């Protein structure tokens, strides 16, 4: 079976998953959305009502030293974010839970989508793409094209792959400065590049408006600040994208046009 897969590790991402599920339905997605859930979380009933299926998973048994290196404060001190702000609810260790998708039974082809993305045009064709395909981490400059963004990627679930990944992930002294993103990029050094339009980062709207071509964009990814947050430093600049997210969250289709900022 083909499946879209996301991860909901806290109440905030449950809010995001509602909009993601509705966006997939609006774009006539041909596969279900499976939601990996590692712990009891408020708001999951709304995710189910939006059409997703919940899949309970276990947390990962990280060694103590690995957990200490990748906890929020030491990780951000060693590899600080300088372009945007990660919300307070973000736990970097939870990012690795998306690797559990390789253990999904009955799923032969998967497309992983972070819970803070919207699908604005159908992306079912990705199920025919090989493992592992991902778009570049393009949000500040064209030099970003060489790095992967793990908010959208293709996978072929297989428990044997998971075991190899786990052994590589937790090797002695391992440090992954951008957690799952850095790990996947190194585990799959020959990862296949998707067009950035399959994972269009919201900062591209601000920093590279010449690449913002609404008719071509298929996925909008709200990296850093989330559209359901309260006030934040970039809220005014990102207002059109925040309004887009709320529009889809509330059950309305994306607008016919969403031009780049002037």
DSSP 4-23: EEEE--SHHHHHHHHHHHHH
The predicted structure's pLDDT at residue 86: 63
Residues of the chain predicted below pLDDT 70: 72-89, 262
Give the predicted TM-score (pTM) of the model: 0.93
Query: What is the C-alpha to C-alpha distance for residues 84 and 90, in angstroms, rounded to an integer?
Result: 13
Q: Which 3 state secondary structure label does DSSP give 63? A: coil
- The region, left, alpha or beta by phi > 0 then psi within -120 to 50, assigned to residue 102 is alpha
CATH superfamily placement of domain 2-249:
Spore Coat Polysaccharide Biosynthesis Protein SpsA; Chain A (3.90.550.10)
Query: What is the C-alpha to C-alpha distance for residues 226 and 168, in angstroms, rounded to an integer?
Result: 31
The predicted structure's pLDDT at residue 85: 62
The predicted structure's pLDDT at residue 87: 59
The predicted structure's pLDDT at residue 218: 98
């Amino acid at each position: 079976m083909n499946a879209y897969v996301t991860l909901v590790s806290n109440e905030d991402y449950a809010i995001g998953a509602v909009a993601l599920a509705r966006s997939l339905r609006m774009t006539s997605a041909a596969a279900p959305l499976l939601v990996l859930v590692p712990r009891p979380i408020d708001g999951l009933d709304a995710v189910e009502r939006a059409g997703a299926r919940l899949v309970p998973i276990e947390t990962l048994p990280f060694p103590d030293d690995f957990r200490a290196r990748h906890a929020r404060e030491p990780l951000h001190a060693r590899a600080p974010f300088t372009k945007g702000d990660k919300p307070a609810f973000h736990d970097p260790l939870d990012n690795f839970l998306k690797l559990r998708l390789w253990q999904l039974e009955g799923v032969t082809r998967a497309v992983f989508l972070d819970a803070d993305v919207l699908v604005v045009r159908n992306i079912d064709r990705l199920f025919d793409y090989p493992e592992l395909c991902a778009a570049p981490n393009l949000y500040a400059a064209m030099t970003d094209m060489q790095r992967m963004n793990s908010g959208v990627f293709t996978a072929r679930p297989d428990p044997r792959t998971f075991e190899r990944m786990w052994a590589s992930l937790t090797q002695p002294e391992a440090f992954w400065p951008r957690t799952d993103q850095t790990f996947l990029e190194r585990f799959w050094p020959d990862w296949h590049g998707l067009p950035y339009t399959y994972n269009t980062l919201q900062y591209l709207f601000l920093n590279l408006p010449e690449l913002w071509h609404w008719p071509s964009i298929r996925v909008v990814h709200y990296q850093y600040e989330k559209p359901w947050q309260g006030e934040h430093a970039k809220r005014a600049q990102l207002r059109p994208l925040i309004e887009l997210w709320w529009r889809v969250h509330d059950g309305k289709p994306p607008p016919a046009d969403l031009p780049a900022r002037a």
